[in-house]
Amino acid sequence: MVVVEIMRKKKMWKLEETSVEWKKSNLTDIRARLGGWQLESFKESYNHKVENGISLYKKNLIK
């Protein structure tokens, strides 16, 4: 059931009608669930995507 919810939220990010408020709330929820190296890794990856338009994961796949 959790996987279904995660997939639903991933799809919502791509929808034009998804509000900025929902996206901010979703990011807050994600950060609250993470800790330690996972949180630091998420922050690094998310900041890279915001600044460069591509996730670190996809960047590494291209190499």
Q: Using H for helix, E for strand and C for coil, what is the string for 1-46?
A: CHHHHHHHHHHHHHCCCCCHHHHHHHHHHHHHHCCHHHHHHHHHHH
pLDDT tens-digit readout, 4-62: 888 888 889 889 999 999 999 999 999 999 999 999 999 999 999 999 998 888 888 88
CA distances to 18, 53, 62 from 4, rounded to whole Å, are 18, 26, 28
Domain that holds residue 21: 2-62
pLDDT of residue 56: 86
Structural domain count, the chain? 1
pLDDT of residue 1: 65
What does R_g of the chain's alpha carbons equal in angstroms? 13
